[in-house]
Amino acid sequence: MSDATDTEKHGGSADFMGAAIVRKREASRRRSRIVRIAAIASALCLALYFAGFAVFLSEVSFYRKDVPDSRADGIVVLTGGVARVDEAVKLLNEKKGERLLISGVHPSASRAVLAKTFAVDEDRFNCCVDVDHEALDTVGNAVETADWVAEHGYHSLLVVTNDYHMPRSLLELHSVLSDVELIPHAVVASQHQNDTAAEQASRYRVLLGEYVKYSAARLRTLVTPISGPGDDVHRAALTASE
């Protein structure tokens, strides 16, 4: 009886150990499948992301081409890049729009300083240039511009900013100005064919950084669109100040 009992115990123990080994192997195979699926999914996401970057570069390249000789009700320039305001003032002087909004000006920059900095005729500056000191980023630019457009009843707008910044600017502006025609007028910082490798690398770093911001903006506007002009939107301080 003792021998039979021992045999049964040893057999049961062996069966238990065998089942445990099988479970471990199955768990290991499941983990391997999960890792492979995650790796494939990550590779696909990365490929799609860089394919999107290629599309983004194509869009920026489109804005770098010669812009058409267009006219709009108003002109807005988003500060923060090279030669943006100079180009917007030029458009105003050429009467491509009735008024110019300079959006995102540092609070310390007065109208008098701006007029001198950009060599704008004093009478023209006083009559036709509005200055927004409130916007701190591209989202703020869009909100303040929407207020300005609503205030003047404009239906078309020339948008002046750098080429790499144009896709995100139009995205943000479209989210609050769906009924307004937006005409891009890109300012190109550099497009020299003889740029050094370091200069080209620097430009691609800027482009990649802007693409990351643009991707985040696309996601945000899909999930939580920003408000348009109305009672809930803070109005820009567009009154003259010295």
Residue 160 has pLDDT above 90, yes or no: yes
Is the CB of residue 81 less than 8 Å from the CB of residue 187? yes
Residue 155 has pLDDT above 70, yes or no: yes
Confidence of residue 3 (pLDDT cuts 50, 70, 90): low
- pLDDT score, position 201: 83
Asked which of 37-51, 91-105, 150-164, 223-237 is least confident by mean pLDDT, the reply is: 223-237
Residue 27 has pLDDT above 80, yes or no: no
Residue 10 has pLDDT above 70, yes or no: no
Between these two residues, 97 and 231, which has the higher pLDDT value? 97
Determine what percent of the chain is predicted with pLDDT higher than 90.
Answer: 45
Q: Residues of 151-162 as b/e, b for ≥16 C-beta within 10 angstroms?
A: eeebeebbbbbb
Residue 128 has pLDDT above 70, yes or no: yes
Confidence of residue 14 (pLDDT cuts 50, 70, 90): low
Mention every residue, 6+ apart, whose C-beta is less than 8 A from residue 201: none
- pLDDT score, position 39: 84
For residue range 178-198, list pLDDT tens digits in order: 899 999 999 987 655 667 778
Q: What is the mean pLDDT of the chain?
A: 82
- pLDDT score, position 30: 81
Between these two residues, 233 and 29, which has the higher pLDDT value? 29
